[in-house]
Amino acid sequence: MYRFFITDDDFARNRNWAAILDRIIAMREREGLYFRFLIQVDAAAHRIPNFIEKCRRAGCLRVFIGLETISPDNLLHAKKRQNKVAEYRRMFQAWRAAGIMTFCGYILGFPGDSVASIERDIAIIQRELPLDILEFFVLTPLPGSEDHQKLSHDGVWMDADMNKYDTEHVCTGHPRMTPAAWQDIYKRAWALYYTPAHIETLLRRAVADGIDAKRLMLSIVQFRSIPLIENVHPLQGGYVRRKVRRTRRPGLPRENPLLFYPRRLAESAIALARTLAMLWWIDRIRRRVLRETKRSRYDDLAITPLLPDAEERLALLQERPR
């Protein structure tokens, strides 16, 4: 099976999306070409008539959605006016109904964020939003961006080391968090979301909604293990992180191969063993969930459609102290 990533920044806003998907559908259904793909869309893509259905028929495996935040004030700061918090549940439920896994980017460090608010919002997401994989990023004023220009104009501290502008390291000041506290909550966010209890919940939701639990399990292993074991973003590590001796940051000496390769072999073996142990543990949960689901169907607040009056009482839609 072949898998592809369509790298259009927002495939749903491509004016040719219907023609592209129709051609892919024809390749699969008439010509027997079997492949899967991942696309990136915005949080409003589910409103487009037939878009999700065509994605499903074309073989869309996963979608990446720039969720960014669940705070309306933070969305305005991020210029994501198309993201409507009140529609998030319906949006995720629409993708789930098609059996498509959702990956969401979530940014930490908007001006209204604090350590307590980030912890609280992650807990709300776990309870009330039926998304699958959540990946975290540090709000970063990339050089040349409007944010960088504004912070520079206002005299806000920004790190002079350009290597830290990678969306994983704190490189600017914040009105409500110290750099150390901000960096700490970024590192802890992975463990806060991927708790043992929530991993089980994600797998139960997948089985209940017809999403491939094994495929989800493999993604959970990657997104939980790499920050824990390698201390880098999962997209930098995959399942096994590759390091090249000749590739080093400018200014650092090239390591002696007699020292580098034995050390790297030991590091890789330890990391692989820890990853396999996590895979074994999560697979045991998956197998248990499959057995229990045969006896009774799973349901929870996140995957249950609610009437408007009940939806309005969700913590997701309440004004929260910052």
Residue whose structure tokens are 């909604």: 209
Of residues 149 and 238, the one with the higher pLDDT is 149
Instruction: Return the ∠ at Cα 317 (arms to 51 and 234), rounded to 5°.
Output: 60
- Mean model confidence pLDDT for the chain: 91
The model's pTM: 0.91
Residues 140/165, Cβ–Cβ less than 8 Å? yes
Residues 124/316, Cβ–Cβ less than 8 Å? yes
Transcribe 27-82 into DSSP letters: HHHTT---EEEEEEE-TTGGGSTTHHHHHHHHTEEEEEEEEE-S-HHHHHHTT-TT
Q: Could you give the C-alpha distances from 29 to 18, 23, 212, in angstroms and in order?
A: 16, 10, 21
Average pLDDT over residues 37-47: 93
CA-based radius of gyration for the chain:
21
Of 126, 112, 130, nearest in space to 192 by CA: 126
290-317 pLDDT, tens digit each:
999 888 889 999 999 888 888 888 888 8
Coil, strand or helix: which one is 288?
helix
- 167, pLDDT greater than 80: yes
Residue 26: its H or E element: helix 17-29
- 71, pLDDT greater than 60: yes
Give all domains of the chain, ordered by start, each with its CATH number. Answer: 59-317 (3.30.750.200)
* Per-residue pLDDT, 250: 82
* Per-residue pLDDT, 237: 84
- 81, pLDDT greater than 60: no
- 197, pLDDT greater than 70: yes
* Per-residue pLDDT, 78: 54
- 6, pLDDT greater than 50: yes
Residue whose structure tokens are 């999403």: 211
* Per-residue pLDDT, 82: 47
